Amino acid sequence: MNWIIRSTKKLYCHTNLNNLLDSSWIDISEFNWLVSDLDVVNFSKQELPIDFRENYSILSSENFKKIIESNLQIIWGVISAVKKTENPKFDKENFPYVEGNDNVWNNDQFQVENAVFEITAWDSSYTIVKFKDAELSEKFKNHFDEAIELDKYKF
């Protein structure tokens, strides 16, 4: 199941990963993380383990945890979780992107072929979370009961 979520009381800033990737529903250490097409506000001004000169970065769960724990708001971006035993499979010439990509609004359209789930931050207004793992999707929905099924969301 795929979800869209906006700011709420529980998730005051849905594009802040510390809020979105709460340890009560996800264990980030199970994955490696591909982040791409990022536009962020780094409120903490601390150095992050991402090279923003590159179109994408592949982060270990340890480095991704530094991102989560920073005071970082994602305005635009794609974040893909891949099992630690795999390398992300994606077109390196056409890396995952958000703006101008209508496929982010379509169910089951993943930009990283072997992603377990994918988060898309859309102009800091929407966060789209897509899952291939039904159990993980259910945990997300139970934690964020305000999430709306992507295919039922109307602008």
Give residue-wise pLDDT tens across range 93-116: 889 999 999 999 998 899 999 999
Residues in CB range of 38: below 8 A, 6 or more apart: 50, 52, 74, 76, 77
Written as one letter, the residue type at 79 is I
- The first and second tokens of residue 128, run together, are 């789209």
Average pLDDT on 117-123 reads 93
Contact 17, 68 (CB under 8 A): yes
Burial of 119 (0-12, 13-18, 19+ CB in 10 A): buried
Task: Tell me what percent of the residues of the chain surpass a pLDDT of 90.
Answer: 54
pLDDT > 80? residue 11: no
- pLDDT for the residue numbered 93: 87
- pLDDT for the residue numbered 17: 86
pTM of this structure: 0.90
For the CA atoms of the chain, what is the radius of gyration?
Answer: 14
The candidate with the shortest Cα–Cα distance to 98, out of 87, 109, 83, 82, is 109
pLDDT > 70? residue 63: yes
